[in-house]
């Protein structure tokens, strides 16, 4: 004989027994919540993973406390008018400006010019197509995180003497020197021999079209001798010299003052050159990820709403099927609050179980994906709590109406139900 629901524990036990009695129906009902929760946590992990990857890539490629100066250096899309205005106002930074910066502020700030083009690189009969030839200074490894796995970077003396030495990326090493060290060997760029001095560590791809492991670093002096100066001049990396006691902002201000003096920029007028800092890059990346989150997370959360609708429908069916049972419980003393508690707990229990399974499934997929794509992915606490909170809220919202409908049933009419 059914017993009245007189406590939360009793209501919980009855709700659990009801779900266990209809295993297939319960599982199919939970699918919506499982898919919804796992989707939310996987998307959250992907977004955080992209943020971590962008942070690591920025640190490796740009440096943690370095900055960039160029005729055009700002991130983001510029329309044609803005670009034309910057090109009209901003001055190209040429070798003379780099020499001026070093002569006036080089005791406090490290500088390296940075210019690039794409060329084929050859070793014996093997050709590596479309390598990125970078003209830089010997000081670049002190400014940016250029870590070598073999050999060394070229020296300041080699740069001044225009010696044809090169540091190559990991992809060139694998293609041109499989299984052997390239250090001391010769590669050809435009028919000129370059002695390989070192190999940069593997960085990986930073995008669908951008490879970071195909560079060839050569002295900027040799680069200019081979290709001349580009119309837009150099990009110049700067960083506070170790022991100077300057912060990145201090060093940037010193550089700006020197360049404004060099270009005779009137007081009160904007800089006639562009600057870029790691903070600006991170802010740009964060704004993109925030936009992605604002669009993608609500879309994935729609599946949770669908799961809630499914739970509500099943609970309404359950109330209809158990109308006579509800009448008997009311007849033996169960109150409206007891009946409502039972069905509400049943709904919340389904959502909580679905949320837990979805969280586990999402964690498993994220762990596998992290190993496959070699990107640091992880389910952060905010997304995990969001998934559990939303799934529980879905259970409460979905179960409230069916539970209140069951609680309002007249016991006499309920006992007459077939």
Nearest to 134 by CA among 209, 234, 239, 265: 234
Distance in angstroms (rounded) separating the CA atoms of residues 221 and 380? 48
Instruction: Dump pLDDT digits (tens) for 337-377.
Output: 777 777 777 777 777 788 888 888 888 887 887 777 666 77
**Count of alpha carbons within 13 Å of 240, Cβ hemisphere only?**
14
**Which domain, by its residues, includes 133?**
111-243
Residues 229 and 347 in one domain: no
Same structural domain for residues 213 and 320?
A: no
Residues in the chain: 418
Q: Could you say which of 243, 268, 298 is where a domain stops?
A: 243
Q: Judge whether 289 lies within some domain.
A: yes
| Residue 288 shares a structural domain with residue 195 | no
**Model-level pTM?**
0.65
Residue where one domain finishes, among candidates 190, 211, 243: 243
Please state the domain count of the chain.
2
What are the b/e assignments for 300-329, b being 16+ CB within 10 Å?
bbebbebbbebbbebbeebbeebbebbbbb
Dihedral (CA of 378, 382, 388, 391) sign: negative
Tokens 């997370």, located at residue: 297
Determine, yes or no, domain membership for 105: no
Closest CA to 243 of 417, 409, 133, 107: 107
Q: Establish if 62 belongs to a structural domain.
A: no
Which pLDDT score, from 0 to 100, does residue 115 have? 92
Would you state the structure tokens that stand for residue 349, as one six-digit string? 């229990």
Domain presence at residue 229? yes
State pLDDT tens for residues 90-126.
888 998 999 999 999 999 999 999 999 999 999 988 9
Q: What is the pLDDT of residues 118-153, one digit of tens each?
A: 999 999 889 999 999 999 999 999 898 788 999 999
Report if residue 311 sits inside a domain. Answer: yes
Whether residues 288 and 408 share a domain: the answer is: yes
Residue 396, in any domain of the structure: yes
Q: How far apart are CA 194 and CA 189, in angstroms?
A: 7
Does residue 314 lie in a domain region? yes
Spatial distance between the Cα atoms of 73 and 90, rounded to a whole number of angstroms: 11
Could you please report the per-residue DSSP string of 344-368? HHHHHHHHHHHHHHHHHHHHHHHHH
Residues 25 and 146 in one domain: no
Residue 21 lies in a domain: yes
Is there a single domain that holds both residue 382 and residue 311?
A: yes
Is residue 222 domain-shared with residue 289, that is, in the same domain? Answer: no
Q: Which of residues 180, 212, 243 is at a domain's end?
A: 243
- Based on the domain organization, do 330 and 412 belong to the same domain? yes
Task: Count CB neighbours of 169 within 10 A.
Answer: 24
């Amino acid at each position: 004989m059914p017993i009245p629901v007189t406590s939360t524990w009793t209501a919980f036990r009855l709700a659990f027994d009801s779900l266990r009695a209809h295993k297939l129906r319960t599982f199919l009902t939970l699918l919506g919540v499982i898919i919804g929760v796992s989707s939310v946590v996987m998307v959250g992990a992907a977004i955080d993973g992209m943020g971590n990857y962008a942070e690591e890539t920025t640190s490796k490629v740009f440096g943690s406390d370095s900055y960039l100066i160029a005729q055009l250096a700002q991130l983001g899309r510029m329309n044609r008018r803005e670009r034309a205005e910057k090109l009209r106002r901003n001055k190209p930074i040429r070798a003379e400006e780099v020499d001026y910066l070093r002569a006036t502020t080089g005791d406090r700030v490290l500088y390296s010019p940075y210019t690039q083009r794409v060329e084929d690189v050859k070793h014996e009969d093997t050709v590596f197509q479309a390598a990125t030839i970078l003209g830089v200074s010997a000081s670049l490894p002190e400014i940016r995180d250029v870590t070598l796995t073999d050999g060394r970077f070229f020296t300041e003396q080699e740069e001044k003497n225009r010696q044809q030495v090169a540091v190559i990326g990991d992809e060139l090493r694998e293609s041109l020197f499989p299984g052997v060290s390239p250090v001391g060997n010769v590669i050809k760029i435009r028919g000129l021999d370059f002695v390989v001095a070192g190999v940069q560590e593997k960085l990986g791809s930073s995008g669908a079209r951008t490879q970071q492991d195909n560079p060839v670093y050569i002295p900027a002096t040799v680069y200019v001798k081979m290709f001349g100066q580009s119309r837009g001049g150099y990009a110049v990396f700067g960083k506070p010299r170790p022991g100077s006691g300057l912060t990145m902002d201090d060093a940037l201000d010193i550089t700006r003052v020197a360049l404004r003096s060099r270009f005779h920029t009137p007081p009160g007028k904007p800089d006639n050159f562009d600057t870029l800092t790691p903070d600006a890059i991170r802010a740009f990346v964060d704004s993109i990820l925030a936009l992605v989150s604002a669009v993608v997370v609500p879309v994935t959360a729609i599946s949770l709403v669908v799961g809630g609708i499914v739970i509500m429908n099943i609970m309404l069916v359950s109330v209809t099927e158990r109308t006579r049972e509800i009448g008997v419980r009311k007849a033996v003393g169960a109150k409206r609050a007891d009946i409502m508690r039972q069905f509400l707990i049943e709904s919340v229990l389904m959502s909580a179980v679905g949320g837990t399974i979805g969280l586990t499934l999402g964690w498993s997929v994220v762990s596998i994906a992290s190993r496959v794509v070699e990107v640091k992915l992880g389910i952060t606490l905010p997304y995990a709590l969001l998934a559990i909170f939303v799934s529980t809220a879905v259970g409460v919202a979905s179960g409230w109406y069916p539970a209140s409908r069951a609680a309002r049933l007249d016991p006499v009419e309920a006992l007459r139900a077939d």
